[in-house]
Amino acid sequence: MDLAIELENLTKIFPGKREIRALDSVSFKIKRKTAVGYLGPNGAGKTTTIKILTNVLKPTAGVARIYGNDIQKDPMNALQSCGTILEVPEFYPYLTPRETMMYLGKLRGMSQQYIVRRIKEVMEEVEMSEWIDEKIGKFSTGMKQRTAIAQAMLHEPPLLILDEPTNGLDPKGMAHMRNLIKKLKMDRTVFLSSHLLNEVEQIVDAVILINRGKILAFDDLHKIQQMLKATQIQVNFLDMIDELTLKKIEKLNEIKNIIRNNNSLLLSYDGSKKSAANILDFLVKDLNLKVTTFHPLEKGLEDFYIGLIEKDESQKGGKKFES
């Protein structure tokens, strides 16, 4: 089976006076050994999806499979293939990582010898070896997150499902977690939910964008980034540009449109590196202009996502569901 995760028309409705459709016919397929970001704001349906994937919640309709195993019909085989961090990880504060994982390993039916070996390996992998016999109650949020990843990997699952792993971390902790996930994804499938789009786009190979329980986009990250390539260049000059010089610039083939503001020009072009280089050469070498800054304006994944959100929000109203 080439697929690690497969969802078909997954729907979750919470009944009540006001029915809440947390997931609305969600479908996607994730191949093995890829890192996929499941991205959206709070209330988009991310945690609901992960709770169904881990058999914590039952779907109203649809099917979820892990490595071809239906989670509802065959949860044992489905879940033994994945390690999970669900929401904020909690541990008994008076236990150490070694004691915690010895207990969890025995619950999984793992042999004593195997558990001892794996504890050493996973704590090394998350760079927590020196804390293996310290009480978890002393740990920072970042240390607890890394310990949670270690326990998720204890049984050597090929799939890691991580729900907001950078939640509550400071910038240094986020950097550590980002570097750790980059390392982990080299020989595993990683399904990572987050609302921090700019953070996640440094890690993943593909992104799924979700809002109000509906998938807005799913594609390889490089394809989305290709769509977002720069189509405008902000150029600032030391001196004002006169009308004659402006007309010369307008005649350059690479330039489609110009907006002038004092000693600054906003140039529209085709977005290619070659065109940008030709424009810069023309301004500096041919026209002898003194350029102080030359900045292609690129949209990021967050800008792309916000645009999709705004379009989606304009098409429908109603309350958001806090997943």
Query: Residue 27: its pLDDT value, please?
Result: 96
Q: Which residues contact 141 (CB under 8 A, 6 or more apart)?
A: 168, 169, 173
Give the pLDDT mean for 259-264.
Answer: 86
Q: How many CB atoms are closer than 10 A to CB 131?
A: 19
- Output the CA angle 206-212-218, nearest 5 degrees: 20
One domain for residues 239 and 200: no
Query: Residue 13: its pLDDT value, please?
Result: 95
Query: Residue 228: its pLDDT value, please?
Result: 60
Q: pLDDT confidence of 300, banded at 50, 70, 90?
A: low
Left, alpha or beta for 238 (phi > 0: left; psi -120 to 50: alpha)? Answer: alpha
One domain for residues 47 and 84: yes
63 in a structural domain: yes
Contact 240, 269 (CB under 8 A): no
One domain for residues 64 and 110: yes
Between 226 and 10, residue with greater pLDDT: 10
Write the CATH number for 233.
3.30.70
Query: Residue 319: its pLDDT value, please?
Result: 40
Last residue of a domain, one of 187, 210, 226: 226
One domain for residues 207 and 239: no
One domain for residues 146 and 76: yes
303 in a structural domain: no
Among 117-126, 191-200, 218-227, the range scoring the smallest mean pLDDT is 218-227
One domain for residues 42 and 166: yes
Lay out the sheet containing 3-14: strands in order across: 20-31, 3-14, 61-66, 69-70
For the record, the structure tokens of 250 come out as 């307008």
Write the CATH number for 58.
3.40.50.300
Contact 179, 283 (CB under 8 A): no
Last residue of a domain, one of 205, 226, 247: 226
Tally of structural domains, the chain: 2
Q: How many CB atoms are closer than 10 A to CB 255?
A: 19
Query: Residue 79: its pLDDT value, please?
Result: 92
Q: Over 80: is that where the pLDDT of 182 sits?
A: yes
CA distance 199 to 167: 11
Among 161-165, 207-211, 223-227, 286-290, the range scoring the smallest mean pLDDT is 223-227
Residue 73's Cβ-side half-sphere holds a number of Cα atoms within 13 Å equal to: 8
179 in a structural domain: yes
One domain for residues 9 and 77: yes
Q: Which residues contact 217 (CB under 8 A, 6 or more apart)?
A: 207, 208, 209, 224, 308
Angle between helices 171-184 and 141-152 (to 10 degrees): 10
313 in a structural domain: no
Q: Over 80: is that where the pLDDT of 309 sits?
A: no
One domain for residues 78 and 165: yes
Query: Residue 273: its pLDDT value, please?
Result: 86
Q: Provide the percentage of residues in the chain whose pLDDT is more than 90.
A: 59
Short-list 138, 145, 144, 147, CA closest to 98: 147
Q: Over 50: is that where the pLDDT of 169 sits?
A: yes
Query: Residue 63: its pLDDT value, please?
Result: 96
pLDDT digits 0-9 by tens, 49-86: 999 999 999 999 999 999 999 999 999 999 999 999 98
Q: How far is CA 240 from the centre of its chain?
A: 44
235 in a structural domain: yes
Give the pLDDT mean for 92-101.
Answer: 96
Q: Over 70: is that where the pLDDT of 323 sits?
A: no
One domain for residues 204 and 271: no
Last residue of a domain, one of 226, 257, 274: 226
* DSSP reduced 3-state for 33: coil
312 in a structural domain: no
pLDDT digits 0-9 by tens, 218-259: 888 777 766 666 678 999 999 999 999 999 999 999 998 898
Q: pLDDT confidence of 172, banded at 50, 70, 90?
A: confident
Q: pLDDT confidence of 195, banded at 50, 70, 90?
A: confident
125 in a structural domain: yes
CA distance 206 to 185: 12
One domain for residues 222 and 238: no
Query: Residue 237: its pLDDT value, please?
Result: 94
One domain for residues 51 and 101: yes
Give the pLDDT mean for 11-25.
Answer: 91
Query: Residue 321: its pLDDT value, please?
Result: 35
CA distance 23 to 288: 59
Query: Residue 246: its pLDDT value, please?
Result: 92
Give the pLDDT mean for 22-29.
Answer: 95
One domain for residues 281 and 191: no
Segments forming the whole domain that contains residue 245: 229-297
Q: Over 60: is that where the pLDDT of 121 sits?
A: yes
279 in a structural domain: yes
Amino acid in position 12: K
Indicate the helix (H) or strand (E) that contains 48.
helix 46-53
